[in-house]
Chain A
């Protein structure tokens, strides 16, 4: 299993952890995509592509980067995401569009643009969110992540049997995004999780690794929730 793997939102948080996990394996050429400038993995090899994935130019730049590696594309992790929370009654058109464009539009457009480069088969992992099951104040975010689930299912059917497509739906993970939540609110959220703690980016990366590699060779079209049991409580 040798080839290139693209991961979006690679600069920070869950994406960063996934990129580091992949880059530690010399079989992979990791292409890290992010709008943020702090790309690059110390001590590891990663091809940095700093672009805006909501534009055609950004998507084309990623495709060119894959072609320039000379290695077949074997994996794609659509991870880039933002949140602009508000109650539905107060949500602005701008916040609605921004979240949809980044969380869903980029995954849709990039997947469409890259799958023909998976000439030797491959695996696509879309990072959804437990919020696809519903979450207060996140109409836009929840809709975008629900759309990612539909994208995953349609691609799984359309790209079988050579390419597998799955989704990971993280719950509350200890990233910068979570740390921005007020402490008292965060405490209540953690108390509602059966495992009584936030997840770590590493725990999400482990599941992404499983879905990218032949360990999951008979799984496609699946959504794996990584949320400490929160969907039950």
Chain B
């Protein structure tokens, strides 16, 4: 299944770009095969709470997913993002990612958040 989980990165651009490029390679390969894909990120990174490098990767992936979803909607494949917080059950997070990668039932370009830490915070 096409599921991408970024590795933690530091404050070094080359390291950050390498992680984004790994996501790009997976995205392009999946799109060329007409397959759906999913990015899994930490919710804190969407809000910039764990350093600039990790924030750039998480929000970059979310935006790329939204764009890829627009392109995939015409071809029948979906792209979604699952965000989790520290209290989220890892098996539940994986379950969501696998479900969305396998058959998202028409859900595409969405951010699915597992755990309550996003409540009352900015919409990413």
Residues of A within 8 A of B (CB): 87-89, 91, 93, 96-97, 100-101, 104-105, 108-109, 112, 131-140, 142-147, 149-158, 221
Contacts and interface: CB of A to CB of B under 8 A. Distances in A.
Contacts of B31: 88-89
B59 A149 contact: yes
Contacts of A152: 48
B90 interface: no
Contacts of B16: 105, 108, 147
A147 B59 contact: yes
B51 interface: yes
B48 A88 contact: no
Nearest to A91: B28
- Could you say which of A89, A93, A96, A133 has the most chain B C-beta atoms within 10 Å of its C-beta? A89
Interface string B20-33: 11001001100110
A157 B11 CA distance: 15
Nearest to B27: A88
B48 A135 contact: no
A133 B13 CA distance: 23
Contact of B24 (A96, A101, A147, A155): A96
Contacts of A139: 24, 27, 64, 67-68, 71
Contacts, number: 127
- Could you say which of A88, A104, A136, A138 has the most chain B C-beta atoms within 10 Å of its C-beta? A88
Given A155-B48, A158-B52, A150 B28 contact: no
Nearest to B51: A154
A147 B67 contact: no
Per DSSP, are chain B's interface residues mostly helix, strand or loop, or mixed? Answer: helix
Per DSSP, are chain A's interface residues mostly helix, strand or loop, or mixed? Answer: helix
B100 interface: no
Contacts of B59: 132, 146-147, 149-150, 153
B67 A150 contact: no
Contact of B63 (A87, A105, A132, A157): A132
A104 B56 contact: yes
A163 B70 CA distance: 36
Interface residues of B, number: 38
B55 A135 contact: no
A96 B21 contact: yes
A147 B63 contact: yes
Given A134-B69, A153-B47, A153-B48, A105 B17 contact: yes
Contacts of B28: 88-89, 91
Contacts of A145: 63
Nearest to A105: B13
B24 A154 contact: no
Contact of A136 (B13, B52, B57, B71): B71
B7 to A, nearest CB: 16
Given A89-B31, A108-B13, A150-B59, A142 B66 contact: yes
- Could you say which of B27, B45, B63 has the most chain A C-beta atoms within 10 Å of its C-beta? B63
- Could you say which of B17, B45, B61 has the most chain A C-beta atoms within 10 Å of its C-beta? B17
Nearest to B47: A153
Given A88-B68, A142-B63, A151 B55 contact: yes
Contacts of B71: 87-89, 136-137, 139
Nearest to B123: A223
A215 to B, nearest CB: 21
